A and B are shown apart, each in its own frame.
Chain A
Amino acid sequence: MCYKFMLKGNQYGLGIIMKLIIGGCCQGKLQYVYRTSGLLQDAVLYGVENKYKTDEIQIPVEGTWIWNDFQDWFQKMLEERKDPETTADQLLIDHSNIIIICDEIGNGIVPLSIEERLYRERLGKYLCSLAERAESVERILCGLSQKLK
Protein backbone atom coordinates (compact mmCIF):
# COMPACT_ATOMS: atom_id res chain seq x y z
CA MET A 1 0.00 0.00 0.00
CA CYS A 2 2.68 2.33 1.10
CA TYR A 3 4.85 1.29 -1.83
CA LYS A 4 2.08 1.97 -4.30
CA PHE A 5 1.58 5.37 -2.85
CA MET A 6 5.29 6.07 -3.20
CA LEU A 7 5.25 5.05 -6.84
CA LYS A 8 2.26 7.17 -7.53
CA GLY A 9 3.83 9.98 -5.62
CA ASN A 10 6.95 9.82 -7.74
CA GLN A 11 5.00 9.67 -10.94
CA TYR A 12 3.36 12.93 -10.07
CA GLY A 13 6.51 14.34 -8.59
CA LEU A 14 5.28 14.22 -5.06
CA GLY A 15 7.49 11.55 -3.55
CA ILE A 16 10.69 13.33 -2.86
CA ILE A 17 13.93 11.39 -2.60
CA MET A 18 16.23 13.99 -1.20
CA LYS A 19 19.11 13.84 1.23
CA LEU A 20 20.26 16.86 3.13
CA ILE A 21 23.83 17.35 4.29
CA ILE A 22 24.53 20.32 6.51
CA GLY A 23 27.49 21.54 8.54
CA GLY A 24 29.88 24.43 8.94
CA CYS A 25 32.04 25.51 6.02
CA CYS A 26 35.30 23.65 5.31
CA GLN A 27 34.16 20.46 7.06
CA GLY A 28 34.67 18.11 4.12
CA LYS A 29 30.95 17.78 3.32
CA LEU A 30 31.38 17.20 -0.42
CA GLN A 31 34.21 14.72 0.22
CA TYR A 32 31.92 12.92 2.62
CA VAL A 33 29.19 12.68 -0.02
CA TYR A 34 31.66 11.39 -2.64
CA ARG A 35 32.86 8.79 -0.16
CA THR A 36 29.45 7.55 0.88
CA SER A 37 27.42 7.86 -2.34
CA GLY A 38 29.94 6.73 -4.89
CA LEU A 39 29.00 9.73 -7.04
CA LEU A 40 31.69 11.59 -8.89
CA GLN A 41 32.49 15.20 -9.71
CA ASP A 42 30.33 15.18 -12.85
CA ALA A 43 27.25 14.81 -10.65
CA VAL A 44 27.93 18.08 -8.85
CA LEU A 45 26.24 21.38 -9.48
CA TYR A 46 27.82 24.25 -7.57
CA GLY A 47 25.80 26.98 -5.94
CA VAL A 48 27.13 29.71 -8.20
CA GLU A 49 28.48 28.90 -11.62
CA ASN A 50 28.83 31.26 -14.55
CA LYS A 51 27.49 28.75 -17.02
CA TYR A 52 23.91 28.93 -15.79
CA LYS A 53 21.52 31.56 -14.55
CA THR A 54 20.35 31.16 -10.99
CA ASP A 55 16.78 30.45 -12.02
CA GLU A 56 17.62 28.32 -15.05
CA ILE A 57 19.33 25.43 -13.40
CA GLN A 58 20.73 22.66 -15.56
CA ILE A 59 20.82 19.32 -13.85
CA PRO A 60 24.36 17.92 -14.30
CA VAL A 61 23.50 14.22 -14.75
CA GLU A 62 20.61 11.82 -15.14
CA GLY A 63 19.83 10.10 -11.86
CA THR A 64 21.12 11.28 -8.52
CA TRP A 65 22.96 14.56 -8.50
CA ILE A 66 24.59 16.75 -5.86
CA TRP A 67 23.67 20.36 -5.28
CA ASN A 68 26.74 21.73 -3.51
CA ASP A 69 27.08 25.15 -1.83
CA PHE A 70 23.33 25.49 -1.82
CA GLN A 71 23.69 28.55 0.45
CA ASP A 72 25.56 30.46 -2.28
CA TRP A 73 22.81 29.85 -4.80
CA PHE A 74 20.17 30.84 -2.25
CA GLN A 75 21.99 34.06 -1.43
CA LYS A 76 22.51 34.95 -5.09
CA MET A 77 18.82 34.41 -5.79
CA LEU A 78 17.96 36.81 -2.98
CA GLU A 79 20.44 39.36 -4.31
CA GLU A 80 18.75 39.13 -7.68
CA ARG A 81 15.39 39.66 -5.99
CA LYS A 82 14.21 36.22 -7.04
CA ASP A 83 12.39 33.63 -5.01
CA PRO A 84 14.74 30.78 -4.06
CA GLU A 85 12.19 28.78 -2.06
CA THR A 86 9.68 28.43 -4.90
CA THR A 87 12.37 27.74 -7.51
CA ALA A 88 14.00 25.06 -5.35
CA ASP A 89 10.65 23.50 -4.49
CA GLN A 90 9.78 23.21 -8.18
CA LEU A 91 13.17 21.71 -8.93
CA LEU A 92 12.70 19.13 -6.21
CA ILE A 93 9.40 18.10 -7.71
CA ASP A 94 10.89 17.71 -11.18
CA HIS A 95 14.25 16.18 -10.22
CA SER A 96 14.02 14.71 -6.83
CA ASN A 97 16.99 12.32 -6.79
CA ILE A 98 19.19 14.83 -5.15
CA ILE A 99 21.70 15.33 -2.37
CA ILE A 100 21.70 18.91 -1.16
CA ILE A 101 24.81 20.18 0.63
CA CYS A 102 24.42 23.40 2.56
CA ASP A 103 26.59 25.36 5.00
CA GLU A 104 25.23 26.14 8.41
CA ILE A 105 25.38 29.88 8.58
CA GLY A 106 23.17 30.79 11.50
CA ASN A 107 25.56 30.47 14.44
CA GLY A 108 27.07 33.92 14.45
CA ILE A 109 26.34 37.48 15.42
CA VAL A 110 23.21 38.99 13.88
CA PRO A 111 24.43 40.81 10.76
CA LEU A 112 24.07 44.57 10.50
CA SER A 113 22.65 44.65 6.99
CA ILE A 114 19.05 43.74 6.34
CA GLU A 115 20.02 41.64 3.29
CA GLU A 116 22.36 39.50 5.36
CA ARG A 117 19.77 39.09 8.08
CA LEU A 118 17.11 38.04 5.59
CA TYR A 119 19.50 35.62 3.92
CA ARG A 120 20.29 33.99 7.24
CA GLU A 121 16.71 33.74 8.35
CA ARG A 122 15.18 32.60 5.09
CA LEU A 123 17.87 30.01 4.47
CA GLY A 124 17.49 28.73 8.04
CA LYS A 125 13.75 28.42 7.64
CA TYR A 126 14.06 26.79 4.25
CA LEU A 127 16.53 24.24 5.60
CA CYS A 128 13.94 23.33 8.23
CA SER A 129 11.40 22.69 5.50
CA LEU A 130 13.92 20.70 3.43
CA ALA A 131 14.79 18.63 6.51
CA GLU A 132 11.14 17.85 7.00
CA ARG A 133 10.84 16.49 3.47
CA ALA A 134 14.25 14.83 3.34
CA GLU A 135 14.73 11.11 3.47
CA SER A 136 17.79 11.66 5.65
CA VAL A 137 19.56 14.59 7.24
CA GLU A 138 23.19 14.45 8.29
CA ARG A 139 25.36 17.02 9.99
CA ILE A 140 29.06 16.93 9.17
CA LEU A 141 31.83 18.01 11.53
CA CYS A 142 35.48 17.54 10.58
CA GLY A 143 34.54 14.92 8.00
CA LEU A 144 32.45 12.88 10.46
CA SER A 145 28.70 12.46 10.23
CA GLN A 146 25.93 12.74 12.76
CA LYS A 147 22.60 11.39 11.61
CA LEU A 148 19.87 13.84 12.55
CA LYS A 149 17.11 12.10 10.63
Chain B
Amino acid sequence: MLFLLLGGSGSGKSAYAEELVKSLQHKESLYYVATMESDSAEAKDRIDKHRRLRDGKGFITLEYPIHVENAVKEIQSKENIMLLECVSNLVANTFFAEDDYWKQAELDEIAKKITGKIKNLSLNTKHLVAVSNNIFEDGIKYDESVIKYQKLLGRVNCLLAEDADVVVEIVCALPVVWKGTLPLANITQ
Protein backbone atom coordinates (compact mmCIF):
# COMPACT_ATOMS: atom_id res chain seq x y z
CA MET B 1 0.00 0.00 0.00
CA LEU B 2 1.02 3.57 -0.60
CA PHE B 3 0.50 6.03 2.23
CA LEU B 4 0.90 9.77 1.80
CA LEU B 5 1.33 11.82 4.96
CA LEU B 6 1.19 15.60 4.77
CA GLY B 7 1.64 18.26 7.38
CA GLY B 8 3.15 21.59 8.24
CA SER B 9 6.47 22.03 9.99
CA GLY B 10 6.39 20.79 13.56
CA SER B 11 3.04 19.05 12.98
CA GLY B 12 4.41 15.75 14.29
CA LYS B 13 4.23 14.08 10.90
CA SER B 14 7.65 12.36 11.23
CA ALA B 15 6.83 10.83 14.59
CA TYR B 16 3.42 9.80 13.29
CA ALA B 17 4.98 8.23 10.20
CA GLU B 18 7.35 6.17 12.34
CA GLU B 19 4.47 4.99 14.52
CA LEU B 20 2.46 4.09 11.45
CA VAL B 21 5.34 2.09 10.00
CA LYS B 22 5.85 0.23 13.28
CA SER B 23 2.15 -0.57 13.47
CA LEU B 24 2.23 -2.00 9.93
CA GLN B 25 5.21 -4.20 10.67
CA HIS B 26 4.96 -7.91 11.36
CA LYS B 27 8.26 -9.41 10.27
CA GLU B 28 9.24 -7.06 7.46
CA SER B 29 12.49 -5.14 7.41
CA LEU B 30 12.14 -1.40 7.87
CA TYR B 31 13.91 1.00 5.57
CA TYR B 32 14.20 4.70 5.98
CA VAL B 33 14.99 6.60 2.82
CA ALA B 34 16.38 9.97 3.85
CA THR B 35 16.39 12.75 1.29
CA MET B 36 18.00 15.53 3.29
CA GLU B 37 21.32 16.66 1.90
CA SER B 38 24.13 16.56 4.47
CA ASP B 39 25.91 19.62 3.17
CA SER B 40 26.27 21.63 6.38
CA ALA B 41 27.34 20.94 9.95
CA GLU B 42 23.80 21.72 11.11
CA ALA B 43 22.29 19.29 8.65
CA LYS B 44 24.86 16.63 9.59
CA ASP B 45 24.03 17.04 13.28
CA ARG B 46 20.34 16.77 12.58
CA ILE B 47 20.79 13.72 10.41
CA ASP B 48 23.01 12.01 13.03
CA LYS B 49 20.49 12.69 15.74
CA HIS B 50 17.59 11.35 13.69
CA ARG B 51 19.58 8.34 12.61
CA ARG B 52 20.42 7.39 16.20
CA LEU B 53 16.75 7.74 17.12
CA ARG B 54 15.71 5.48 14.28
CA ASP B 55 18.43 2.87 14.68
CA GLY B 56 16.98 2.06 18.07
CA LYS B 57 13.69 1.37 16.32
CA GLY B 58 15.11 -1.06 13.82
CA PHE B 59 15.29 1.10 10.71
CA ILE B 60 17.97 0.65 8.10
CA THR B 61 18.80 4.13 6.83
CA LEU B 62 19.46 4.77 3.14
CA GLU B 63 20.44 8.23 1.99
CA TYR B 64 19.30 9.41 -1.39
CA PRO B 65 18.88 13.18 -1.76
CA ILE B 66 17.94 12.93 -5.46
CA HIS B 67 18.15 9.45 -6.94
CA VAL B 68 15.72 7.64 -4.65
CA GLU B 69 15.10 5.08 -7.39
CA ASN B 70 18.50 3.59 -6.51
CA ALA B 71 17.28 2.67 -3.03
CA VAL B 72 15.64 -0.35 -4.66
CA LYS B 73 19.10 -1.82 -5.27
CA GLU B 74 19.78 -1.92 -1.55
CA ILE B 75 16.69 -3.78 -0.40
CA GLN B 76 16.77 -7.54 0.08
CA SER B 77 13.20 -8.44 -0.85
CA LYS B 78 9.89 -6.79 -1.56
CA GLU B 79 8.69 -7.88 1.87
CA ASN B 80 9.71 -4.64 3.47
CA ILE B 81 8.24 -1.41 4.68
CA MET B 82 9.78 1.82 3.60
CA LEU B 83 9.50 5.29 4.99
CA LEU B 84 10.43 8.07 2.57
CA GLU B 85 11.18 11.35 4.26
CA CYS B 86 10.54 13.64 2.77
CA VAL B 87 9.10 14.30 -0.66
CA SER B 88 9.56 18.07 -0.30
CA ASN B 89 13.31 17.67 0.16
CA LEU B 90 13.50 15.27 -2.73
CA VAL B 91 11.67 17.75 -4.96
CA ALA B 92 13.82 20.66 -3.76
CA ASN B 93 17.08 18.76 -4.25
CA THR B 94 15.99 17.69 -7.69
CA PHE B 95 14.70 21.09 -8.72
CA PHE B 96 17.55 23.21 -7.42
CA ALA B 97 20.28 20.80 -8.56
CA GLU B 98 22.63 22.25 -11.16
CA ASP B 99 21.18 20.34 -14.03
CA ASP B 100 19.99 22.12 -17.14
CA TYR B 101 17.44 19.47 -17.94
CA TRP B 102 15.35 20.34 -14.91
CA LYS B 103 15.43 24.03 -15.68
CA GLN B 104 14.18 23.63 -19.21
CA ALA B 105 11.73 20.82 -18.75
CA GLU B 106 8.08 21.49 -18.14
CA LEU B 107 6.98 21.37 -14.53
CA ASP B 108 4.43 18.68 -15.29
CA GLU B 109 7.06 16.51 -16.88
CA ILE B 110 9.36 16.89 -13.88
CA ALA B 111 6.50 16.18 -11.50
CA LYS B 112 5.64 13.00 -13.37
CA LYS B 113 9.25 11.90 -13.35
CA ILE B 114 9.69 12.39 -9.61
CA THR B 115 6.33 10.76 -8.88
CA GLY B 116 7.36 7.86 -11.11
CA LYS B 117 10.45 7.28 -8.98
CA ILE B 118 8.34 7.18 -5.83
CA LYS B 119 5.76 4.89 -7.39
CA ASN B 120 8.55 2.57 -8.42
CA LEU B 121 9.74 2.44 -4.82
CA SER B 122 6.19 1.61 -3.83
CA LEU B 123 6.13 -1.31 -6.27
CA ASN B 124 9.20 -2.73 -4.60
CA THR B 125 7.86 -2.56 -1.07
CA LYS B 126 4.96 -4.01 0.85
CA HIS B 127 4.12 -0.60 2.23
CA LEU B 128 5.58 2.74 1.34
CA VAL B 129 4.92 5.67 3.64
CA ALA B 130 5.81 8.92 1.89
CA VAL B 131 5.98 12.06 3.98
CA SER B 132 5.43 15.44 2.35
CA ASN B 133 5.15 19.01 3.44
CA ASN B 134 2.37 21.55 3.43
CA ILE B 135 4.17 24.72 2.34
CA PHE B 136 1.20 26.24 0.57
CA GLU B 137 -0.78 28.22 3.07
CA ASP B 138 1.25 31.25 4.12
CA GLY B 139 0.04 33.44 1.27
CA ILE B 140 3.50 34.86 0.63
CA LYS B 141 4.42 35.59 -2.98
CA TYR B 142 7.96 34.29 -3.28
CA ASP B 143 10.34 34.86 -6.17
CA GLU B 144 9.89 33.01 -9.41
CA SER B 145 12.05 29.98 -8.67
CA VAL B 146 10.34 29.38 -5.32
CA ILE B 147 6.90 29.70 -6.91
CA LYS B 148 8.01 27.15 -9.47
CA TYR B 149 9.15 24.88 -6.67
CA GLN B 150 5.79 25.28 -4.90
CA LYS B 151 3.94 24.47 -8.12
CA LEU B 152 6.15 21.44 -8.64
CA LEU B 153 5.72 20.08 -5.13
CA GLY B 154 1.98 20.78 -5.29
CA ARG B 155 1.78 18.81 -8.53
CA VAL B 156 3.82 15.93 -7.10
CA ASN B 157 1.59 15.81 -4.02
CA CYS B 158 -1.53 15.76 -6.24
CA LEU B 159 -0.13 12.96 -8.40
CA LEU B 160 0.90 10.94 -5.35
CA ALA B 161 -2.49 11.46 -3.72
CA GLU B 162 -4.16 10.15 -6.87
CA ASP B 163 -2.23 6.91 -6.59
CA ALA B 164 -2.11 6.61 -2.83
CA ASP B 165 -4.34 4.16 -0.98
CA VAL B 166 -4.37 6.38 2.08
CA VAL B 167 -3.81 10.15 2.35
CA VAL B 168 -3.54 11.63 5.83
CA GLU B 169 -2.95 15.17 6.97
CA ILE B 170 -1.23 15.47 10.34
CA VAL B 171 -2.37 18.32 12.57
CA CYS B 172 -0.87 18.61 16.08
CA ALA B 173 0.22 14.99 15.79
CA LEU B 174 -3.37 13.91 15.05
CA PRO B 175 -4.43 12.28 11.78
CA VAL B 176 -7.04 13.81 9.48
CA VAL B 177 -7.89 11.21 6.87
CA TRP B 178 -8.47 12.58 3.35
CA LYS B 179 -8.54 9.31 1.45
CA GLY B 180 -8.85 5.63 2.32
CA THR B 181 -8.73 4.31 5.86
CA LEU B 182 -5.87 3.98 8.27
CA PRO B 183 -5.30 0.25 8.73
CA LEU B 184 -5.06 0.52 12.50
CA ALA B 185 -6.84 2.77 14.88
CA ASN B 186 -4.54 1.97 17.75
CA ILE B 187 -1.69 4.26 16.81
CA THR B 188 -0.95 6.19 19.91
CA GLN B 189 1.19 9.21 19.92
Contacts and interface: CB of A to CB of B under 8 A. Distances in A.
B167 A107 contact: no
Interface of A: 23-28, 31, 71, 103-109, 111, 119-120, 141-144, 146
Contact of B154 (A28, A106, A146): A28
Given A25-B150, A26-B151, A107-B8, A142 B157 contact: yes
Contact of A25 (B154, B161, B162): B154
From B134, B136, B160, B176, name the one whose CB has the most chain A CB atoms within 10 angstroms: B136
Interface string B136-161: 11111000000000110111011011
Contacts of B4: 142
Contacts of A24: 134-137, 154
Contacts of A120: 139
B160 A104 contact: no
Given A26-B150, A26-B151, A141 B178 contact: yes
Interface residues of B, number: 25
7 contacts: A24-B136, A24-B154, A26-B153, A27-B154, A103-B136, A142-B178, A144-B179
Contacts of A109: 138
Dominant secondary structure at the B interface: mixed
A142 B138 contact: no
A107 B137 contact: yes
Contacts of B160: 142
Contacts of B85: none
A31 B161 CA distance: 14
B6 interface: yes
